[in-house]
Amino acid sequence: MVEALRAESRYRTWFATILAGTIAVVYLSSSFPFFLDQLPALNPVGHIVVALILFTMALGVVGTMIYAAMEARRRSSGLASLRTASVRRMLRELNGIFDTGVVAVTFGGMQDGRILAMKIKNRDVVGIGRGALAFIKREPTGFRYRLAHEYAHLAVGDPRREQWLSVVYATTTLFLLIAYGSALSNTFSVLAGIGSAGGWPEVKKALLGWMRFGLIANLVLFGSILFMLMLERRSAARLREFYADAAAAKAVGAVEQVFSTAAPVQSALRRFWSRFLALHPEPADRAAAMADRGTVYRADMMLFVLQGFFSAFILELVLQLLFTSASATLATFDDRRASLWRFLAINSAATYGTIAFGALLAMTAHILVLRRLAATVRVAGERRERLGLIASVPFFAAAGAFVLLATSEGILWDLQQTAWDLPRYVIVAWDRLTMHGVALLTLCGVIMSLFFLKPRGARAIFALGSLPVLITLLAGYFLYR
């Protein structure tokens, strides 16, 4: 089981890294297209390559800062080695079960009742808050289960991956804020010009008039991306807790009294927080998951949303790069087709390269997600659980694709140009929407088939992951040939 969970954690980390990195690079490069255009030979993707180089460098800087902050936090938390007789006895037993060499430290003050897993240098460490030490004596069985939960985190490699993802997400957030800041700075510099020429009345007119759309669209775009990233991070964290609970139960047996089964009375906001944004599932859900694994898989639906979102993101990115007249309201289908063939004639290497890069990126994301799901399927033995997952795939994946399209500045602009007339927009942008539809349907198809076929080999998953990309490419060829 630990092996399957380790694989799941590894693929989840890679997928999140690729997703966050791609989004950060694309938005930074599209915010500074001329400034970053240092590799003209690679156009139209030269600025994206430069942004990618910057992102890689920024990972190092942010990583160093986060590492330094973590070290400071450890120092200030008063970490000290814990070697009392009862702790040593418990660790010896668990080290034998998990085949590890975990050591224990204690930290914090008398109110600090946390129990946690850490990786310090290359040592696997469980930390026990000084306020929690009493439980070793008071509830030895429950405490052993709590420790086994932390052992499961360490065996799966969660502390190291959490540190890595903190670096990736912090860098991505930084890049997105820079991109958003640049959009705001452009707006305010234009406003300053308007203000100096026409004074406050002109500024007010611009703000409430033609600038309003851009301001709102940017806020929606960057806000939704940051929100999606946060949802994924939190969803993965909650899922990880369920898995650690399950691994602990397998190692030392389930201990029911560690979770309160009473569901607390909560406000709607609090319920939303614990369902979507909390780092840990509710204790009542954790207790339920011991008996019903469906509770665990319901926590993983965010993966489908994210995959739908990312798949549509890559396709939209490639389409925007391929068509100079991408906007549906400024160009017809024939214009877009002509633009594509013109690009192919002028710089076929870069154009085919862009398509190939998008295809490879999408394929990598699909394969990672399918491998991650394959690990889940291995654990999800019951037919009912699998059917529940299958039924939710189209809905959640479509929700992700919809969020991407609904928050895309380009699509919002086109809709505004058609006076928010959706049928009219569909008529002029039918080719792009068809591409998105094909990509989404094939993606849903392969994810659902995974639960039936239950492929184990890397080749089978590679073939499944390639299918949505190949079919979308074929659809594109027949559409624009």
Of 89 and 342, the one with the shorter C-beta distance to other proteins is 89
Q: Which is it for strands 80-81 and 103-107: parallel, antiparallel or unpaired?
A: antiparallel
Binders of other proteins among residues 405 to 464 (CB under 8 A) are none
Query: Residue 5 Cβ, how far from other proteins at the closest point, in Å?
Result: 13
Of 119 and 337, the one with the shorter C-beta distance to other proteins is 119
Q: Among 63, 103, 131, 320, which residue sits at the site for other proteins (rule: CB under 8 A)?
A: 131
Distance CA 312, CA 206 (A): 33
Interaxial angle between packed helices 301-322 and 430-453, expressed in degrees from 0 to 180 and rounded to the nearest 10? 140
Taking CB under 8 A as the binding criterion, the range among 10-18, 142-150, 318-326, 346-354 that sits at the site for other proteins is 142-150
Instruction: Please tell me the count of residues contacting other proteins according to CB under 8 A.
Output: 52
Q: Among 158, 300, 414, 431, which residue sits at the site for other proteins (rule: CB under 8 A)?
A: 158
Taking CB under 8 A as the binding criterion, the range among 134-142, 264-272, 372-380, 436-444 that sits at the site for other proteins is 134-142
Taking CB under 8 A as the binding criterion, the range among 68-76, 327-335, 404-412, 423-431 that sits at the site for other proteins is 68-76
Q: Among 84, 189, 196, 348, which residue sits at the site for other proteins (rule: CB under 8 A)?
A: 84
Binders of other proteins among residues 257 to 296 (CB under 8 A) are 258-260, 279-280, 283
Query: Residue 208 Cβ, how far from other proteins at the closest point, in Å?
Result: 43
474 binds other proteins, rule: CB under 8 A: no
Taking CB under 8 A as the binding criterion, the range among 113-121, 395-403, 431-439, 465-473 that sits at the site for other proteins is 113-121
Of 80 and 216, the one with the shorter C-beta distance to other proteins is 80
* C-alpha 182, offset from chain centre: 24
Of 132 and 314, the one with the shorter C-beta distance to other proteins is 132
Of 136 and 203, the one with the shorter C-beta distance to other proteins is 136
Binding mask 367-406 for other proteins (x = CB under 8 A): ----------------------------------------
SS3 annotation, the chain: CHHHHHHHHHHHHHHHHHHHHHHHHHHHHHHCCCCCCCCHHHCCCHHHHHHHHHHHHHHHHHHHHHHHHHHHHHHHCCCEECCCHHHHHHHHHHHHHHCCCCEEEEECCCCCCCEEEEEECCEEEEEEEHHHCHHHHHCHHHHHHHHHHHHHHHHHCHHHHHHHHHHHHHHHHHHHHHHHHHHHHHHHHHHHHHHHHHHHHHHHHHHHCHHHHHHHHHHHHHHHHHHHHHHHHHHHHHHHHHHHHHHHHHHHCCCHHHCCCCCCCCCHHHHHHHHHHCCCCCHHHHHHHHHCCHHHHHCCHHHHHHHHHHHHHHHHHHHHHHCCCCCCCCCCHHHHHHHHHHHHHHCHHHHHHHHHHHHHHHHHHHHHHHHHHHHHHHHCCCHHHHHHHHHHHHHHHHHHHHHHHHHCHHHHHHHHHCCCCHHHHHHHCHHHHHHHHHHHHHHHHHHHHHHHHCCCCHHHHHHHHHHHHHHHHHHHHHHHC
Find where tokens 């030269």 sit. 46
Distance CA 348, CA 255 (A): 63
68 binds other proteins, rule: CB under 8 A: no
Query: Residue 113 Cβ, how far from other proteins at the closest point, in Å?
Result: 4
Q: Among 107, 169, 343, 425, which residue sits at the site for other proteins (rule: CB under 8 A)?
A: 107
User: Do 359 and 314 touch, CB atoms closer than 8 A?
Assistant: no
11 binds other proteins, rule: CB under 8 A: no
Q: Among 25, 48, 102, 118, which residue sits at the site for other proteins (rule: CB under 8 A)?
A: 118
Q: Among 22, 59, 150, 438, which residue sits at the site for other proteins (rule: CB under 8 A)?
A: 150
Q: Which is it for strands 103-107 and 123-129: parallel, antiparallel or unpaired?
A: parallel
Of 133 and 450, the one with the shorter C-beta distance to other proteins is 133
Of 1 and 284, the one with the shorter C-beta distance to other proteins is 284
Binding mask 199-238 for other proteins (x = CB under 8 A): --------------------------------------x-
Q: Among 4, 63, 103, 112, which residue sits at the site for other proteins (rule: CB under 8 A)?
A: 112
Query: Residue 310 Cβ, how far from other proteins at the closest point, in Å?
Result: 25
Cis preceding-peptide flag for 44 (omega within 30 of 0): yes
Query: Residue 80 Cβ, how far from other proteins at the closest point, in Å?
Result: 7
Q: Among 21, 44, 46, 108, which residue sits at the site for other proteins (rule: CB under 8 A)?
A: 108
Site of interaction with other proteins (CB under 8 A): 70, 73-74, 76-78, 80, 82, 84-86, 106-119, 127, 130-138, 146, 149-150, 153, 158-159, 162, 237, 240-241, 244, 258-260, 279-280, 283
